[in-house]
Amino acid sequence: MHSPHDPYVRVRGAREHNLQGVDVDIPRDVLAVFTGVSGSGKSSLAFGTIYAEAQRRYFESVAPYARRLIHQVGAPKVGEITGLPPAVSLQQRRSAPTSRSSVGTVTNLSNSLRMLYSRAGDYPPGAERLDSDSFSPNTAAGACPECHGLGRVHRTTEESLVPDPSLSIREGAIAAWPGAWQGKNLRDILDALGYDVDRPWRELPAEQRQWILFTDEQPVVTVHPVRDADRIQRPYQGTYMSARRYVMKTFADSRSATLRARAERFLTAAPCPACGGSRLRPEALAVTFAGRTIAELAALPLVELARTLDGGASETARVLTGDLRARIAPVLELGLGYLSLDRATPTLSAGELQRLRLATQLRSGLFGVVYVLDEPSAGLHPADTEALLRVLARLKESGNSVFVVEHHLDVMRGADWLVDVGPRAGEHGGRVLHSGPVAELASVADSATARFLFDDAPAARREVRAARGRLTVGPVTRHNLREVTAAFPLGVFTAVTGVSGSGKSTLIGEITEELPGVGRLVSVDQRPIGRTPRSNLATYTGLFDVVRKVFAATDEARARGYGAGRFSFNVAGGRCETCQGEGFVSVELLFLPSTYAPCPECGGARYNAETLQVRYRGRSVAEVLDLTVEAAADFFADTPAVARSLATLLDVGLGYLRLGQPATELSGGEAQRIKLASELQRGRRGHTLYLLDEPTTGLHPADVEVLMRQLHGLVDAGNTVIVVEHDMSVVAGADWVIDLGPGGGDAGGRIVAAGTPAEVAATADSATAPYLARVMP
C-alpha cells in the first residue's frame, strides 16, 4: 500500500506505445532527467504515462462527466502509479496560438505593466486616471476605436477593386463585386442611375469612378431588368452599394469564411493611422512612464525594459517596477532578453516559448507539483545552459519535482536522478536501463547514454575540406542584422553558431534558390510530414505507391478486378467508409484539444473487409502497413523499388518505425530523418544546398552520430550543407564556422568570427569559442 510519506513516484506496468511493462521509481523533489535514443520511449514514459495520468486524474476530479470520453480516448496504458503529484507541462504545443498572444501575455508581464501605467503613470493635466484594462488593446476600454485594437486597417484602393481598368463594368471591371445575380443587379442599378456600363473603366471620369467605388450613399432606384430575352422580369426597386462598402461589410459581417476570404483579397492592410499600429486608444497613449508610452515600452527588448524600470518617484511606482524587474530577471537569465513584450508568439521558436513559460513559472508560487519539460535546452547556446540548470534548481527548491526529457550532456550531468530508457528504439527499446544517481549509469553496459556521458576522449581529427566556390549572402538588413554580408563556402559543411537571438535563423533565412551558385535548395526541418493520420511514412516516401501496385498484381486482386486505387485508404472504394480510411475517428473533448480514437468499424485497419481479403504472401495491405521498416525490408527484399526506400530508412536509423505510422505520431526528429531519407533515396549527386536549422534538436548523441554520417555523406557526394547548431561536437566536425553575436537582439547581429573550427575556437571575443575549444580534437 502506498504511504503518503513515501518520497517516490512509483510507476508499475507502463505499456504506452513501445514501453514493455515498465516499473520505475523516481524520487519526488528532484531534478530527474529522462534519456535514451530517439524512439526509445522517454516521452512515452515522461509525457505519455506520468504526465498523462496526472492530467487524467485532474480532469476526473474537476469534470466527472469527462470520464467516459477520457476512457474512450484511452487513459495511459499503465498498471498503477502511486505518489504522483499534480503535473504541469511546459512542453511547447504545436497548436497555433491566437495572433493576439504575445510575449507579454504569455508571461503575464503585460498585466503588471498596465497596472503600472494605471496607478503610477504621468497623466496629462486634467485627465482622469484610467484603470488597467484601458491599457489593453484586447479590451473594449483600451482598443483603438479606428482599428478595434488590431493595429492595422484594411483599406480598399481603386487598384485593388478594379484590377483590369481596360474592362467595362459590364465586362466585369469591378472584380470585387459579388458574382451572379447580385453583381448584375448592381450593374443594372448603375445603368439606371445613368452611368455608362459599356465604356472601359479607365475612360470613365475620375469623379464617377470615385463615386461608384467609394460612395457611402445608398440610393434606391427603379430598375427595368433586360437580362434574359425569353424571360420577362418585373421592374423592381434596387439599392446601390459601393464596391468598398460591399467588401468591408462582407469582410466584417459575413458568416461565410469563403466570402470573407474573397473579400479580403480586395483589401490592403496598412498600419492604423489613428494609433500608429500600437492598437491603443488615444487616452491611453497620452499616459507615459519614464517619458514613454506603454506601447513604446512594450516594443523595447526586455533587457532595456528592465533598465528603464529603475524605480520611479512614488512608493507605488517603486513597488510595481520592483515586481516587474523581479519577474523579467529569469527571462533574461534564460537568454531571452532580446525579446520584446509585443512580439507575437507565433514568431517565436518552440524552444523560446518553452523557456518563457519556464521563466514565468518561477514566480507562480506553485509548490508540490511535478513540472514535465521537453528538452528545455533546445535553441540554447552552451553559454546559457548553466543558467538553465540554475532555473531548474530553483523550481525544485520551491518544493517541486522537475522531470525533463533531455539530450544535452551538461543537463544530464546536472541532474539528481537519471532515468535511462533503451537500449534502442521502438520495439528494441521501451525498457528502463537505469533509474538512479547519474554516476551509477557508468556501470550499465547496454546504455547508449553511458558511452557519451563518461567518455571524455576528444573526437577523431578530420581533414577540413576545401570549398569549390562561395555563396555570398547580403548585405542583409533584417531583424537585428545591419548590412551583414556572409560568404558561405560551397561543397563543404558549414555550421552557423551564436547565442539565442544573435540572428542565425534570420541570416540563413536569406539563402534562396535565386542566389547564383545555389542550384537546388532543400530545407530539412523538423516540421511534421503531415498533420493528419492520413499521411504516414509509406505515403510520404512514395513507397506505398509501389506496394499498392504489388497488391493489384496478385491473382486474387485481378480476379476481382481491383486496381491499385482499391488499396488506397485515401479514396472511396477499398477503404473503410466509417473512418474514411483514417483508422481513427476524431473525438472532441471539452477543454482539451480534440484527439483521435480507433475506428469502431475497422478497428484501425482503415480498409473494408473485401479489400482485406486480398493477400500478398499471406499478408493483407493493412498488415503490411503494420510492419516495421526492418521487417518490411525482409518482406519486400525482392521488390527493388520498395527495397531501396526501405534501405535508406534503415540507414538513417528508422528501422523501428511502422510503415503506416501516422504522421501525427512521429516526433520532430523522426520527421526530419524521414525527409532526409527521401532526399538520400533520390540519389542525386552534387549541387544541392541543404539547410538545417538545429537538426540535433530532440536527438540523443548516438542519433547525432548517425545524422552527421548522413550529412557528411551528402557533402562527400558534392553537395553543400549549412546547419545552425549549438551542439559543439557537430560544430567541431564542420569544415567552416560562421559565428554570430556577440549577444542576442541588438547586442548581436554581427559576424564575430568566420573560419575553420580551429580558427573560430581561438577567437578572443566569441561566446562560442571557449565551448568549441573544449571539444576540439
**Partner touching 332 among Zn ion, ligand ADP, none, CB below 5 to 8 Å by kind:** none
Decide: is 38 part of the binding site for ligand ADP (CB under 6 A): yes
Of the two residues 132 and 500, which places its CB atom closer to ligand ADP in the complex?
500
Of the two residues 272 and 714, which places its CB atom closer to Zn ion in the complex?
272
Decide: is 178 part of the binding site for ligand ADP (CB under 6 A): no
Decide: is 83 part of the binding site for ligand ADP (CB under 6 A): no
Scan residues 342-371 and list those touching ligand ADP (CB under 6 A).
347
Residue whose C-alpha cell reads 530508457 in the numeric block: 421
Please report the DSSP string for 187-235 in residue order. HHHHHHTT--TTSBGGGS-HHHHHHHHH-----EEEE-----TTS----
Give the separation between CA 541 and CA 643, rounded to whole angstroms: 12
Closest CB 578 distance from Zn ion, rounded Å: 5
Decide: is 275 part of the binding site for Zn ion (CB under 5 A): yes
Decide: is 535 part of the binding site for ligand ADP (CB under 6 A): no
Going residue by residue from 731 to 750, which x/- string records binding to ligand ADP, judged by CB under 6 A? Answer: --------------x-----
Decide: is 339 part of the binding site for ligand ADP (CB under 6 A): yes
Q: Which three cell numbers stand for residue 684?
A: 542525386
Decide: is 500 part of the binding site for ligand ADP (CB under 6 A): yes
Decide: is 493 part of the binding site for ligand ADP (CB under 6 A): no
Q: Cα dihedral sign for 395, 396, 402, 405?
A: positive
Decide: is 142 part of the binding site for ligand ADP (CB under 6 A): no
Sole binder of ligand ADP in the list 9, 11, 28, 39 (CB under 6 A): 39
Of the two residues 191 and 703, which places its CB atom closer to ligand ADP in the complex?
703
Sole binder of ligand ADP in the list 338, 417, 569, 771 (CB under 6 A): 338
Residue whose C-alpha cell reads 482599428 in the numeric block: 147
Give the separation between CA 35 and CA 764, rounded to whole angstroms: 35
Decide: is 295 part of the binding site for Zn ion (CB under 5 A): no
Stretch that binds ligand ADP, among 143-151, 154-162, 493-501, 611-619 (CB under 6 A): 493-501
Give the separation between CA 52 and CA 15, rounded to whole angstroms: 13
Of the two residues 210 and 347, which places its CB atom closer to ligand ADP in the complex?
347
Give the separation between CA 726 and CA 384, rounded to whole angstroms: 11
CB atoms inside a 10 Å sphere around CB 195: 17
Q: Which three cell numbers stand for residue 277?
A: 499600429
- Closest by Cα among 442, 434, 491 to 467: 491
Sole binder of ligand ADP in the list 110, 160, 447, 480 (CB under 6 A): 480
* 49 DSSP assignment: I
Of the two residues 144 and 484, which places its CB atom closer to Zn ion in the complex?
144
CA distances from 107 to 97, 170, 327 (A): 14, 55, 9
Give the separation between CA 665 and CA 533, rounded to whole angstroms: 8
CA distances from 226 to 196, 212, 222, 236 (A): 16, 21, 13, 12
Scan residues 588-617 and list those touching Zn ion (CB under 5 A).
599, 601-602
Sole binder of ligand ADP in the list 491, 498, 653, 733 (CB under 6 A): 498
Closest CB 407 distance from ligand ADP, rounded Å: 10
Going residue by residue from 695 to 734, which x/- string records binding to ligand ADP, judged by CB under 6 A? Answer: ----------------------------------------
Helix (H, G, I), strand (E, B) or coil at 125: coil
Decide: is 585 part of the binding site for Zn ion (CB under 5 A): no
Decide: is 576 part of the binding site for Zn ion (CB under 5 A): yes
CB atoms inside a 10 Å sphere around CB 446: 13
Helix (H, G, I), strand (E, B) or coil at 541: helix
Decide: is 41 part of the binding site for ligand ADP (CB under 6 A): yes
Closest CB 467 distance from ligand ADP, rounded Å: 24
Give the separation between CA 3 and CA 1, rounded to whole angstroms: 6
Stretch that binds Zn ion, among 37-45, 271-279, 416-424, 667-675 (CB under 5 A): 271-279
Tell me the number of residues near ligand ADP by CB under 6 A.
30
Decide: is 763 part of the binding site for ligand ADP (CB under 6 A): no
- Measure CA 467 to chain center: 34
Give the separation between CA 631 and CA 428, rounded to whole angstroms: 13
Of the two residues 35 and 156, which places its CB atom closer to ligand ADP in the complex?
35
Going residue by residue from 133 to 172, which x/- string records binding to Zn ion, judged by CB under 5 A? Answer: -----------x-xx-------------------------
Extended beta strands in 77-150, E state: 78-82, 87-89
Sole binder of ligand ADP in the list 11, 14, 26, 40 (CB under 6 A): 40
- Measure CA 39 to chain center: 20
Phi/psi zone of residue 18: left (φ > 0), alpha (ψ -120 to 50 degrees), beta? alpha
Stretch that binds Zn ion, among 449-457, 492-500, 573-581, 646-654 (CB under 5 A): 573-581
By DSSP bridging, strand 736-741 and strand 8-14 are: unpaired
Going residue by residue from 4 to 33, which x/- string records binding to ligand ADP, judged by CB under 6 A? Answer: -------------xx---------------
Of the two residues 363 and 479, which places its CB atom closer to ligand ADP in the complex?
479
Scan residues 420-439 and list those touching ligand ADP (CB under 6 A).
425-426
In degrees, rounded to 5, the angle at the alpha carbon of residue 361 between the alpha carbons of residues 360 and 366 is 145
At a CB cut-off of 8 Å and minimum separation 6, what does 183 contact?
A: 177
Stretch that binds Zn ion, among 62-70, 264-272, 304-312, 742-750 (CB under 5 A): 264-272
Scan residues 624-663 and list those touching ligand ADP (CB under 6 A).
656-657
Give the separation between CA 478 and CA 302, rounded to whole angstroms: 19
CB atoms inside a 10 Å sphere around CB 519: 14
Give the separation between CA 120 and CA 135, rounded to whole angstroms: 13
Closest CB 598 distance from Zn ion, rounded Å: 8
Stretch that binds ligand ADP, among 119-127, 411-419, 500-508, 726-734 (CB under 6 A): 500-508
**Partner touching 602 among Zn ion, ligand ADP, none, CB below 5 to 8 Å by kind:** Zn ion
Stretch that binds ligand ADP, among 67-75, 387-395, 496-504, 563-571 (CB under 6 A): 496-504
- Closest by Cα among 461, 503, 488 to 719: 488
Alpha helices in 606-727 (DSSP H): 609-612, 621-625, 629-635, 640-651, 668-682, 701-716
Give the separation between CA 360 and CA 547, rounded to whole angstroms: 50
Which residues of this protein are in contact with ligand ADP, per CB under 6 A? 17-18, 36, 38-44, 338-339, 347, 425-426, 479-480, 498, 500-506, 656-657, 665, 667, 745
Which residues of this protein are in contact with Zn ion, per CB under 5 A? 144, 146-147, 272, 274-275, 576, 578-579, 599, 601-602
